[in-house]
Amino acid sequence: MKTAADLKHGEKVIINCVNSKHPSAKRLLEVGFTPGQEIELVNRSTFNDPIAISIRGTVIALRRSDADCIIIA
Amino acid sequence: MIDNLTSDNLFITLVGPPNSGKTTLFNYFSGKNYKTVNYPGATVDSAVANLQKKFNINASLMDSPGIISLNPETDDEKIAVNYLYKHPKLGKPDLVIVTVDSSQLSRHLYLAKQIINSKFNVIIALTMVDILEQKGFEINEDKLSEIIGCKTFKVDGRSGRGIDNLLSYINDNKISFKEETILNNHSANNNTDDVLLLYKEIEKIEDECLVEIEDKKNINLKRANKQLNLVTNKFEKKKCNQIDARTVKIDKVLLHNTWGLVFFFLIMSFTFTSIFWFAQPIMNFVSYIFQNLADEALNLAGNNWFGMLLSNGIINGVGSVVVFVPQIMILFLILGILEDSGYLARGAMLIDKPLSKIGLNGKSFVPMLSGFACAIPAMMAARTIPNRRERLLTIFILPLLSCSARLPVYTLLLAFLFPGNKAWIAGIVLAAIYLFSILSSILAAAIINKLNNKVIKAQDNSSFILELPAYRRPEVKVVAINMWHSGKLYLQKAGPIILVLSICIWFFTSFPNIDPKVNTDNISQEQVNELKDSERLATSYAADFGKIIQPVMTPLGLDWRVGVALISAFTAREVFVSSMALIFKVTDSRGSLMESMLDAMKNSKIGNTEKKLFTPSSIIGIIIFFMFALQCLSTIAISRKETGSWRIPILQLIIFSGLAYFLSFVAVNGLRILGLS
């Protein structure tokens, strides 16, 4: 199961679903990470974590552990 | 400031997601100049102001922290949602204006729709219309109003465009807003399915209301394309969701995978060194003016008790603190530029990983940065940290960061250590002190984090989710006004305390023996004055008190006079400087106030001995004491308020002040053993 945490730099994908059991799921949905949306990994921090993902016309920085609940394939 | 609520006074609440242009709109309505910060929680507390008279509507307006949804996750969001439903003083709003960034329509309509569904009287203010137009789209506002179920207006909070329409609509519907409505409590249903359903609804609205601007050149092409079925729906959508091109370019550098953190440290170092270097010439000038004023006052009033009160007690006491206003203003100028540009969120992202290792969060960065200005707003800014343990830990270490009230103390002491042409070293040492305060706070966090549950209870689910807003040019006017305000606030906060304390300290160091009898045989008038000064101080009330604290001060190589200054610094750290100016009687020397203070310090001896009171080692000892000691009553009070109990503030007071005394003792005596006097 591939999640947004596995994205490579510049990779564009469509969100498949969001793991609703993950504690960050609700907040991620609320900021716009809903199924069907296109996301792209646009930046990575120096330690490769957190990552910055573009969604719905903005960029959200999130930890890989948060990105783990965004399932892309 | 706020008029009493009469029947025709509207109470309007401004709500919106972070970075939606909410505070800009608030400033336009109220004529105030609050700082708009590209960071969630920037408006940590709610602000209430009256609508400007020129708009001809009698209304109170509330601005509150930006929220993403009505289901709060952090304390600042909780406050915003609670205040939306019921302001403690003004109650339920008659009208809610929701700001919605047009270029992020779906994300921002999410909150607007939640508020509409909660049955508030809502008006949507569509901001950043120009940014959407640059992307080639516009919003059909009539259609949007119709589908979403509330009136919408395109506005621009910077130029005021479109706000007239919004206001005249408010004016026309004043009476209907006043009607009693029953609100739905939103928090009743907030599982993930609800979020998805709401977004589905909004996406439909977005599809219907977002129209591509058809410029003439493209129309024919588009028709042709349509016939060939080349333009797909997906393509259009993608285009309106493009992120700001300039931001992408800047982030390629500032968020670079390897260099990002290097730039981060460069920006931070520049901030701290420039405080010292930029301010120095202005400070010299202010210092010079006050010294002349004090001399003039003494000449005019004569060498009696009134003249001494005026020049020693009031002008020198107050002047020694006013001297540092330029430094404070420059600090706030740079912080303001950083905040207004949108870099803060990036800083938080870059530093999240290192901070998470010691039990903090990337979101601790902004509170820590404001800790360099003052611990009080910094502790309030910690509300944006969702995880309680991380938040308490952040609050715990904040007093260690070198706040602006310590700047005067360090500047004075460093000027003593590095006089004249060695002054440039002082700038570097000051930057080092700042760096060290970061290190010590990190160390403290790491240690407390290791002690784990003993000090602050553990809590799971640490997360970091933060929007990186588009970069924008800082608004000169807002940054400048904010700088001016911070200078004014510094004087307002410290001013009265310093004035009162200056007079008190002057009194206790001058009485009861205001005109001591000294042997005047064979000595010049100058020597007589000096002898009188020291005799007066030695027989004063302060000296009586000093004998009690002398045993505590001796191990640090200091005497009771510094002790009195240190104790008075508990009201506000900068009072230390004015107390020193008073106790060491800074008058009748040429040059600036700072120079004569340094002269007086150089010449002071311990007791009746020939041993110098201020030596490099004892000065370093005082600096170390100030780096650690929690000597600020307001900080203790706000720590109590933000953490909800006395536990943390008392621990902070004991640990930090104890550590300060111990480390200062070790430093002074260690240096003396090593041969540095």
Task: Give the tens place of pLDDT for each residue, B655-677.
Answer: 999 999 999 999 999 998 887 77
Calculate mean pLDDT across residues B195-205: 90
User: B37-46, B67-76, B278-287, B401-410 — which is least confidently predicted?
Assistant: B37-46
* Alpha carbon distance, N-terminus to C-terminus of chain A: 6
Pick the closest to residue B533 from B597, B582, B568, B592 (CA basis): B582
Cβ distance A65 to B463 less than 8 Å, yes or no, reads yes
Confidence of residue B236 (pLDDT cuts 50, 70, 90): very low
On the question of pLDDT at B293 being above 60, the answer is: yes
Instruction: Map B546-611 to HEC letters.
Output: HHHHHHHHHHHCCCHHHHHHHHHCCCCCCHHHHHHHHHCCCCCCCCCHHHHHHHHHHHCECCCCCC
A59: closest chain B residue by CA = B468
Q: For chain A, what is the total number of helices (H) and then of strands (E)?
A: 2, 6
Q: What is the pLDDT of residue B587?
A: 55
- What's the CA gap between B339 and B356, in Å, rounded? 22
In this prediction, residue B80 carries a pLDDT of 87
CA distance A22 to chain B (A): 9
Does position B469 have pLDDT exceeding 60, yes or no? Answer: yes
Residue B329 pLDDT grade (very low, low, confident, very high; cuts 50, 70, 90): confident
User: What is the rounded CA–CA span in Å between residue B171 and residue B50?
Assistant: 15
Answer yes or no: are the C-beta atoms of B588 and B295 closer than 8 Å.
yes
Distances (CA, A) of B513 to B517, B543, B584: 9, 11, 17
Residue among B191, B345, B465 minimizing CB distance to A66: B465
Chain B positions in Cβ-Cβ contact with residue A25 (cut-off 8 Å)? 192
Q: What does DSSP assign to residue B111?
A: H
For B14-28, B31-45, B154-168, B652-666, which range has the lowest pLDDT when averaged over its residues?
B31-45
Rounded Cα distance, B312 and B504, in Å: 12
Q: What is the mean pLDDT of residues A20-39?
A: 90
Is the pLDDT assigned to residue B226 strictly greater than 60?
Answer: no
Is this complex's ipTM strictly greater than 0.85? yes
Nearest to A25 among B192, B241, B353 (CB): B192
CATH superfamily of B10-210: P-loop containing nucleotide triphosphate hydrolases (3.40.50.300)
- Residue B650 sits at the vertex; the CA angle it makes with B646 and B652, to the nearest 5 degrees, is 125
Residue B398's pLDDT band (cuts 50, 70, 90): very high
Phi, psi of B537 (to 5 degrees): -65, -40
Contact A34 B467 (CB under 8 A): no
Higher pLDDT, B476 or B630: B630
Tokens of B140: 């059909």
**Cβ atoms of residues B351 and A52 within 8 Å:** no
Q: Note whether A34 contacts B195, CB cutoff 8 Å.
A: yes
Average pLDDT for chain B:
81
Q: Hey, is B486 helix, strand or coil?
A: helix
pLDDT of residue B258: 86
pLDDT in the model for residue B452: 63
Q: Which residues of B touch A48 (CB under 8 A)?
A: 257
The pLDDT value given to residue B232 = 46
B570-593 pLDDT, tens per residue?
A: 777 877 887 787 777 655 555 677
Residue B601: band (very low, low, confident or very high) from pLDDT cuts 50, 70, 90: confident
Contacts of B195 in chain A (CB under 8 A): 26, 29-30, 34
For residues B547-560, average pLDDT: 82
Of A30, A43, A57, the CB nearest to B240: A57
Q: How confident is the model at residue B152 (pLDDT cuts 50, 70, 90)?
A: very high
Is residue B121 within 8 A of residue B149, CB to CB? The reply is no
- B348 to chain A: which residues are within 8 Å by CB? 61
Give me the residue from B195, B362, B466 closest to A26, CB to CB. B195
Distances (CA, A) of B547 to B45, B611, B639: 46, 18, 33
Nearest chain A Cα distance for residue B118, angstroms: 17
Say if residue B527's pLDDT is above 70. Answer: no
Task: Write the DSSP assignment of B121-146 as a string of letters.
Answer: -EEEEEE-HHHHHHTTEEE-HHHHHH
B373 vs B70, residue with greater confidence: B70
Count of CB contacts below 8 A, A vs B? 132
Lookup result for tokens 């990036």: B346
How far B465 CA lies from chain A's nearest CA (Å)?
Answer: 4
Q: Return the DSSP state at B441.
A: H
In this model, does residue B235 exceed pLDDT 50?
no
Q: B351-390 burial string, b = 16+ CB within 10 Å, else e?
A: bbbebbebbbbbbbbbbbbbbbbbbbebbbbbbbbbbebb
**Residue B3 pLDDT greater than 50, yes or no:** no
Residue A30 has its nearest CB partner, among B68, B349, B350, at: B68
Give the number of other Cβ atoms within 10 Å of residue B153's Cβ.
19
Backbone CA torsion sign across B562, B568, B570, B572? negative
CB proximity list for B344: less than 8 A, separation 6 or greater? B37, B38, B39, B338, B365, B366, B369
Burial (Cβ within 10 Å: 0-12, 13-18, ≥19) of residue B143? middle
Percent of chain B with pLDDT over 70: 85
- CA-CA distance, B677 to B557, in Å (whole number)? 10
Out of A9, A54, A62, name the one closest to residue B465 (CB). Answer: A62
Which residues in chain B touch residue A16, judged by CB atoms under 8 angstroms apart? Answer: none
Tokens at residue B277, please?
């270097």
Shortest distance between the Cα of B353 and any Cα of chain A, in A, equals 6
CA distance A12 to chain B (A): 12
Domain holding A47, by residue range, is: 4-71
pLDDT in tens, B430-450: 888 888 998 999 999 999 888
Tell me the C-alpha to C-alpha distance, in Å, between residue B232 and each of A16, B18, B237, B487: 21, 32, 9, 56
Q: A62, A53 in Cβ contact below 8 A?
A: yes
In 3D space, the residue among B552, B149, B667, B602 whose CA is nearest the CA of residue B415 turns out to be B602
**Which chain B positions have a beta carbon within 8 Å of A9's beta carbon?**
257
Which chain B residue is nearest to residue A61, measuring alpha carbons? Answer: B466
Is there a contact between B106 and A45 if contact means CB atoms under 8 Å apart? no
User: Who contacts B400 (Cβ-Cβ below 8 Å, separation ≥6)?
Assistant: B437, B440, B441, B444, B627, B628, B656
| Tally of structural domains, chain A | 1
Mutate to test the interface with B, among A63, A65, A70, A71 (most CBs of B within 10 A): A63
| Per-residue confidence (pLDDT) for residue B608, from 0 to 100 | 66
Instruction: Output the pLDDT for position B638.
Output: 84
What pLDDT is stored for residue A41 in this prediction?
Answer: 93
The whole-angstrom separation of Cα B83 and Cα B89 is 10
Q: What is the DSSP string of B239-270?
A: HHTPPPHHHHHHHHHHT-TTHHHHHHHHHHHH
Nearest CA in chain A to B131: A57
Q: Which residues pair with A71 in a beta bridge?
A: A3, A17
Q: Give phi and psi for B190, each to the nearest 5.
A: -150, 40
Please, are residues B532 and B516 in contact by the beta-carbon 8 Å criterion?
A: yes
Residue B200 burial (CB count, 10 A): 12
The better pLDDT of the pair B493, B143 is held by: B143
**Range list of H helices, B342-475:** 343-357, 365-371, 375-381, 388-397, 406-417, 423-451
Least trusted range by pLDDT, from B182-186, B563-567, B627-631: B182-186
The residue-averaged pLDDT of B39-62 equals: 76
From the list B346, B334, B340, the residue with the least C-alpha distance to B254 is B346
Binding-site residues on chain A for chain B (CB distance < 8 A): 9, 18, 20, 23-32, 34-35, 38, 42-50, 52, 54, 56-63, 65-66
Decide if pLDDT at B321 tops 80.
no
User: Nearest-CA residue of chain A relative to B114?
Assistant: A30
Q: Do A59 and B247 touch (CB under 8 A)?
A: yes
Contact A71, A18 (CB under 8 A): yes
Bridging pattern class, strands B10-15 and B47-50 = unpaired
**Residue A52 in this model has a pLDDT that exceeds 80:** yes
Say which amino acid occupies B380.
M
Q: Which of B189, B241, B249 to mutate to test the interface with A (most CBs of A within 10 A)?
A: B241
* Residue B96: strand pairing partners: B13, B122
Percent of chain B, pLDDT > 90? Answer: 20
Q: Do A50 and B362 touch (CB under 8 A)?
A: yes
At residue B235, φ and ψ (nearest 5 deg) are -65, -45
Say yes or no to pLDDT of B505 above 90: no
- Say how far apart CA B376 and CA B373 lie, in whole Å: 9
Provide the pLDDT for residue B229.
54
Q: Please give the DSSP secondary-structure letter assigned to residue B645.
A: S
Residues 6+ away with beta carbon under 8 Å from B144 = B124, B152, B205, B209
Q: Of B130, B137, B185, nearest to B157 (Cα)?
A: B130
Nearest to B350 among A28, A45, A62 (CB): A45
Closest CB to B464: pick one of A34, A42, A63: A63
Q: CA B37 to CA B23: how far, in whole Å? A: 8
Q: Length of chain A in residues, anyone?
A: 73
Domain ranges of chain B: 10-210, 243-677
- B468 to A28: CB separation less than 8 angstroms, yes or no: no
Q: Closest approach of chain A CAs to the CA of B67, in angstroms?
A: 10
pLDDT band for position B108 (cuts 50, 70, 90) = very high
**Chain A residue nearest residue B69, CA to CA:** A30
Which of B191, B193, B260 lies closest to A45 in CB terms?
B260
Q: How far apart are CA B8 and CA B463, in angstroms?
A: 46
Question: Between B214 and B430, where is the model more confident?
Answer: B430
Residue B292 structure tokens: 């002349």
